Amino acid sequence: MTKLTIKLLLISCMSFCLLSACKRVEKRQTQTKEIIRVGVFDKNGDSPWCITDALEALRIDPNMQAEVVRASQIMSGELDAFDAIVFPGGSGRGETQSLGDAGMEKLVKMVKEKGKAVVGICAGAYIMTETPDYPSLDLNGCEAIDIEHDNRGHGLSKFSLTKEGKEIFPELKDRKISFCQYYEGPVLVPAKSGAKFMELATMLSDVHTVEGTPANMTNNRPFVVAAEVGKGRVASFVGHPECTPGMRWMLPRMVRWTCNKELISYPKNVVRPDFFKYEIIYTKEVNDLQTKYHNQLTGTRAEKLEGIEKVIELACWSSKKWIPGLLRDKDAKVRVKASWALIQLERTDAIPDLEAAVMTETDKNIKIQLKKNLKALKGLLGSNS
């Protein structure tokens, strides 16, 4: 038997085992009362919006308890009681620097020897790789390339699921193309060590809007990957489903898979893959439009009402920051429109803002509308949140 034949047999066996594992999980779609504790890593203040987005997306799942954790808790053993750790977007080097050599080593042992689940998003996906000259954990079987052009651009990118991905995300199995926010995530290729991994989704968008960045680098690359490492499971998102309206449920679903827990279905008010219908790469022209409509949020009533709709339509990355303040606008129609926008954006972190708006509203009819939208916004959360 030749070396090539042996290698092909090993690859086939690996694919069969990983796919079989997915199918075993996919069959269990019933509700469970088991609590899943998830820590979202904070390197002491980095990228607060990425941390908030991850926490709020996890709250979609009625059985997940998510809280911020730090490197000190990993070292102290406090995280031994957690089922999973999520490394959010921000700075990959910052996250590993916060962990330090001892923290990185301990985390890898937690995965391999104790079966700890780990999910990385964007920067978090970077640190999961096996990348030369980059502080990484060597967990997901991939290498990040073209790091010198890390600042390549942003956009609402296209992706497609693989056969294995459809087993974990059956809600998307009939879709040839889905959409997800992308913000300078890693370009992944198989690691030189040959460590096995499973590609769940492939990125189809070619993002290179920044001058000097190469074309045809991001497209046809792994977009979501997963691996079984020792006793544990890990997964990486190159993009940002946790802040993409209609797709945020993908994060808690992936956490369940890495924890080897039952996959449960989520309601239609959060599973909305048709919310975005086309790719939006943030070219200069698109950025100029986004800036125009952002500026309208401080204009006349008509400008504000149009601006609210347009920043959502254009998938503006920062629209989540801009809308809550409009709940305190002097114009009643703007306040109502802002409350509607929070539902579209799934900004459950703004529930206190909307509760305050309801409490302070003096117009009876407007208060009724705000209450209705507050109920809908709270309805995006799992029943135990």
How far is 299 from 301, CA to CA, in rounded Å?
7
Sequence ranges of the domains in the chain: 16-258, 283-378
Reply yes or no on whether the pLDDT at 236 is more than 90: yes
The residue behind tokens 């893959």 is: 273
Q: What is the pLDDT of residue 385?
A: 54
Q: Which residues pair with 68 in a beta bridge?
A: 40
**Which pLDDT does position 180 carry in this prediction?**
98
261 Cβ partners below 8 Å, 6+ apart? 32, 34, 36, 83
Q: How many CB atoms lie within 10 A of CB 213?
A: 18
Per-residue pLDDT tens digits for 244-256: 999 999 999 999 9
Indicate the pairing of strand 221-229 with strand 178-183.
unpaired
Average pLDDT over residues 1-25: 43
Distance of CA 382 to the CA centre of its chain: 17
> Does position 16 have pLDDT exceeding 70, yes or no?
no
What's the length of the chain? 385
259-309 pLDDT per residue, tens? 999 999 999 999 999 999 999 999 999 999 999 999 999 999 999 999 999
Q: Which helix or strand (DSSP H or E) is residue 247 part of?
A: none
Cβ neighbours of residue 10 closer than 8 Å, sequence gap 6 or more: none
Q: What pTM value is reported for the model?
A: 0.90
pLDDT at 225 over 90: yes
Which of residues 127 and 180 earns the better pLDDT score? Answer: 180
Torsion of CA 313, 317, 319, 320, to 10 degrees: 120
State how far the Cα of 371 lies from the Cα of 384, in Å rounded to an integer.
Answer: 21
Distance CA 71, CA 105 (A): 12
DSSP string, 202-229: EE------STTPPSSSSTTEEEEEEEEE
What are the E-state strand segments in the chain? 36-41, 64-69, 84-87, 117-121, 142-145, 154-161, 178-183, 187-190, 198-203, 221-229, 232-237, 280-281
Whole-number pLDDT of residue 131: 86
CATH 3.40.50.150 given to domain 16-258 = no
Closest CA to 342 of 321, 360, 358, 356: 321
Q: Say what percent of the chain tops pLDDT 90.
A: 74
Is pLDDT above 80 for 313? yes
Q: What is the pLDDT of residues 120-173, one digit of tens each?
A: 999 899 989 988 888 888 899 999 999 888 899 999 999 999 999 999 999 999
pLDDT for 43 equals 80
At 90, the pLDDT band (50, 70, 90 cuts) reads confident
Mean pLDDT along residues 22-33: 46
Of 147, 146, 203, 184, nearest to 282 by C-alpha is: 184
**Is pLDDT above 60 for 13?**
no
Mean pLDDT of the chain: 89
Distance of CA 353 to the CA centre of its chain: 24
Q: What is the pLDDT of residue 378?
A: 97
Q: Which of 272, 275, 237, 253 lies closest to 380 in space, CA to CA? A: 272
